[in-house]
Structure 1
Amino acid sequence: MEQTSNLKLPYIAPSQAQKHVTHNEAIRALDALVQLSVAGRNAAEPPAEPQEGARYIVASAASGQWSGKDNQVAAWQDGAWAFFEPQEGWYAWVMEERTFAVFSQAAWSGAKAGTNPVPAVGINTIADETNRLALKSPASLFDHAGQSHQLKINKADDNQAASLLFQSNYQGCAEMGTMWGRDFRIKTSADGDQWHDALVADNASGSVRFPGGIANAATGKKQSGLIFVPATEMEATIYQTAGSQNPTTAKLASVASDILTFTTDAVSAFFGSPMRGMAMIRIWNVTRSPAQSAWAEWDTTLNGLQVSSADHVRQWSAGDTIQIVDPVKKNIAVDISPMMQKLLGGVFMQDGLLLGTKDATNMTIACKDASPVSSSNLAYFRGDEQRSFSVIGVYG
């Protein structure tokens, strides 16, 4: 083997005379090819007065002293042209173009300096598996190329989130986007765990709701507006029970997961049929000490109630005594979130209710306590209340 594999540098033979000639030839080749930088790559014939050490990439259809040397590197060394045939993957800096060229598939072409694709990019910080693009900087600029600039955040489907999350010391405090649906939302949090909708914009109609309410700019106090319940064939009845100074009680016949069945047809004394799909009530197991509570709605196929969570009644059993009147406060607690969802399209923490009765008497009640089973506030009625109440409007 008389030459090196890649640069074709000549070897010095063991018995060779004038070894310096071969050595100098290799040195000249290295001088021409290492840190390769050429003056240009568009000339097909040599310059009239080349500078010592000048290098060029010979263009196609070369003539004169460069004839037949297309794509080769021509170097003016010691008053003569030396030619080097490029190998796949050689890079050269082209001074007249201020760019790199690469030899690939028997031709030189401009080297693209992009990174597409790369698994992660960190700018002044370390990217990780979750934050594959990470930037630490006082500011970021997304400028236009032309007239406009659009930032796109895409998600796989409606059950995912496409959002911007705002953090303080890496703890989430605000988020906006289409989270778990198509409606646009702005949410806030005090601890990064519990979140509250501040604004919800319906994606179909564009109508905007403020579930947390609107505060007065001067006082900071929450302002309430009356939202009338839409007129429908059904009344928004949230309270209709027998009512009694001595609370009606009933015995449990069975407890099956989240279904409570009674020994007698006593459910209607707890839960008027117009309340179905409109409200949940708090029931109390007074056999337990202290009394235990659960939230329930009338199961439409049984003489029984369906509770919001089977865990709440896991310790209950047949023979236990159930009532709806709070054994201490002597009131009845009602959660109206089913009515809100059905007739208003969303559940929120209402400030009060405008109620109507069968005798056309209206009354307003305040709702201050948050429901433990929904995003609404509770409504309370006296334990001996015998009137039926329907919602005319919601303050919120």
Structure 2
Amino acid sequence: MDQTSNLKLPYIAPSQAQKHVTHNEAIRALDALVQLSVLNSNAQAAPSNPAEGDRYIIGSGASGAWAGKDQQVAAFQDGAWAFFQPLEGWSAWIAKTANFLVFTNGAWKAAASGGTNPVNAVGIQTVADDTNRLAVKSPASLFDHAGTSHQIKINKSDDNQAASLLFQSNYQGRAEMGTLWGRDFRIKTSADGSSWRDVMIADNATGVVRFPNGIASAATGKRLSGLVFLPAGPDATIYQMPGSATPAAAKVASIAADIITLAANSAVSLFGTAMRDVAMVRLWNVTKSPAQSAWVKWDTALNGLQVVNADHIKQWASGDALQIVDPVKKTIAIDISPLMQKRLGGVFAQDGVLLTIVNSGNSVGSLVLPSSDPSPQSGANLVYFRGDEARVFNIAGVYG
């Protein structure tokens, strides 16, 4: 064997004269091919005044000094052209077009189709890392079609993960959209990058779209409010207690955890049985000064009430006087979050409620009550009635 297997560099024979000639020939080949960088990759004719060391990839249909050397590497060395036949996998940097070519299947092709897949990370004008394995710093990015169409696909391992586009400002999240922690498509926004609000939720099964924080008027910028009628079901009574000019009252017999036992069978005068699973009412202990309050969510018996938070009644004692009328505002506060959760599937800050008025068991009309005060117990807004209200009110719809 008188030459190397890959670059075809000549060996020096043991008895060869002028060994330096063979050695220099090998050095010239290495100088031409190692860290290969050429001026152009599609030249068809040798330049008239090449500089020493200039290299080219010869294009198809070459003529003159390059005739018959298509696809070969031409290097101008010691005043003459030397030619090198590329082998499978050779790569070259093309100075004119600033890209890499790879020799594969008998032709020079762009590196993207010639064997750089896969790579661990790619950074364009910036540094990629373990999380951002493709990092691009550029005024714009173009994802063009090859044929007629183009898709960008974002895949996640299962439905409980996130597949999204995150929009940032100074590397803090400001908006995000995608299938976030479920199948529904969501758009959400943030003012600080940590607290987020849902703008839109599209149900993956039905395509129905919800706007949890409402839609604003283009003219005024204020949130629009639409009436949502309750789905079919039993009457939803949010207020059912006898009223009079003198508010109904009761006395505490005992306190045990979150249960208030009354001294008489008077629970119905503070929390109507029909309000179970529909509403909560604010109860006031007027023996305390100033008056203390707790939210009642259930009537356990004719003489028993259950409160939302046992901590609110820890200081209450036997003999304390209770009433549902605010001792200052003279109103009765109702929280309808149990109804919202049960009949509408979620709790939100409603703008108002549409009520049916019931008197002596008969519907006698309807009433719209605005509601804007946030409930301290839920995400709903409070509904208020007069302290001497004697009628029953069923809820027909919610504005929001």
Do they fold alike, i.e. is TM over 0.5? Answer: yes
Could you tell me which residue of structure 2 aligns to residue 332 of structure 1?
332
3-state DSSP of counterpart to 1:313: helix
Q: Offset of 1:272 from its aligned partner?
A: 2.2
Identity of aligned residues (%): 57
- C-alpha change, 1:269 and 1:129, in structure 2 (3 Å) is farther
Could you tell me which residue of structure 2 aligns to residue 250 of structure 1?
252
The separation in 2 between residues aligned to 1:286 and 1:11, in whole angstroms, is 111
The answer on whether the counterparts of 2:293 and 2:312 sit within 8 Å (CA) in structure 1 is no
- C-alpha change, 1:158 and 1:271, in structure 2 (3 Å) is farther
1:144 aligns with 2:142: no
3-state DSSP of counterpart to 1:342: helix
1:368 aligns with 2:369: no
Q: What does 1:320-359 correspond to in 2, within 5 Å? A: 324-359=324-359
- C-alpha change, 1:89 and 1:369, in structure 2 (3 Å) is same
- C-alpha change, 1:190 and 1:19, in structure 2 (3 Å) is closer
Could you tell me which residue of structure 2 aligns to residue 389 of structure 1?
393
The separation in 1 between residues aligned to 2:215 and 2:180, in whole angstroms, is 22
The answer on whether the counterparts of 2:127 and 2:135 sit within 8 Å (CA) in structure 1 is yes
The separation in 1 between residues aligned to 2:159 and 2:86, in whole angstroms, is 58
Could you tell me which residue of structure 2 aligns to residue 275 of structure 1?
275
1:316 aligns with 2:317: no
Could you tell me which residue of structure 2 aligns to residue 379 of structure 1?
383
Alignment match of 2:103 (pick from 90, 101, 104): 101
The separation in 1 between residues aligned to 2:260 and 2:121, in whole angstroms, is 62
The separation in 1 between residues aligned to 2:154 and 2:183, in whole angstroms, is 13
The separation in 2 between residues aligned to 1:382 and 1:389, in whole angstroms, is 12
The answer on whether the counterparts of 2:186 and 2:198 sit within 8 Å (CA) in structure 1 is yes
Q: Offset of 1:365 from its aligned partner?
A: 1.1
Q: Offset of 1:148 from its aligned partner?
A: 2.4
- C-alpha change, 1:209 and 1:248, in structure 2 (3 Å) is farther
Q: What does 1:100-179 correspond to in 2, within 5 Å? A: 100-101=102-103, 113-114=111-112, 116-179=117-180
Q: What does 1:75-90 correspond to in 2, within 5 Å? A: none
3-state DSSP of counterpart to 1:377: coil
3-state DSSP of counterpart to 2:340: helix
Higher mean alpha-carbon deviation, 205-214 vs 356-365, is at: 205-214
The answer on whether the counterparts of 2:248 and 2:269 sit within 8 Å (CA) in structure 1 is no
- C-alpha change, 1:51 and 1:173, in structure 2 (3 Å) is closer
Q: Deviations over 1:85-125 (max 9, x none)?
A: 98x9765789xxx93237xxxx9897873454445444334
Q: Offset of 1:350 from its aligned partner?
A: 2.0
Q: Offset of 1:314 from its aligned partner?
A: 7.3
Could you tell me which residue of structure 2 aligns to residue 66 of structure 1?
none
Could you tell me which residue of structure 1 aligns to residue 260 of structure 2?
262
Q: What does 1:48-63 correspond to in 2, within 5 Å? A: none
The separation in 1 between residues aligned to 2:57 and 2:128, in whole angstroms, is 39
Q: Offset of 1:132 from its aligned partner?
A: 4.3
Could you tell me which residue of structure 2 aligns to residue 61 of structure 1?
none
Could you tell me which residue of structure 1 aligns to residue 218 of structure 2?
217
| Count of residue pairs the alignment pairs up | 360
Q: Offset of 1:204 from its aligned partner?
A: 3.0
Q: Which runs of 5+ in 1 are unaligned?
A: 58-75
The separation in 1 between residues aligned to 2:93 and 2:139, in whole angstroms, is 35
The answer on whether the counterparts of 1:331 and 1:382 sit within 8 Å (CA) in structure 2 is yes
The answer on whether the counterparts of 1:262 and 1:304 sit within 8 Å (CA) in structure 2 is yes
The separation in 1 between residues aligned to 2:305 and 2:238, in whole angstroms, is 18
- C-alpha change, 1:327 and 1:173, in structure 2 (3 Å) is farther
3-state DSSP of counterpart to 1:357: strand
Q: Which letter does structure 2 place at the counterpart of 1:385?
A: E
Could you tell me which residue of structure 2 aligns to residue 238 of structure 1?
238
What's the RMSD between the two structures over aligned residues? 5.0
Q: Which letter does structure 2 place at the counterpart of 1:254?
A: A
Higher mean alpha-carbon deviation, 383-392 vs 168-177, is at: 168-177
Q: Which runs of 5+ in 2 are unaligned?
A: 37-54, 95-99
- C-alpha change, 1:217 and 1:184, in structure 2 (3 Å) is same
The answer on whether the counterparts of 1:294 and 1:313 sit within 8 Å (CA) in structure 2 is no
The answer on whether the counterparts of 2:247 and 2:325 sit within 8 Å (CA) in structure 1 is no
Could you tell me which residue of structure 2 aligns to residue 30 of structure 1?
30
The separation in 2 between residues aligned to 1:24 and 1:109, in whole angstroms, is 29
Q: Offset of 1:290 from its aligned partner?
A: 5.1
Q: Offset of 1:280 from its aligned partner?
A: 2.8
Higher mean alpha-carbon deviation, 284-293 vs 215-224, is at: 284-293
Q: Which letter does structure 1 place at the counterpart of 2:385?
A: F
- C-alpha change, 1:142 and 1:38, in structure 2 (3 Å) is closer
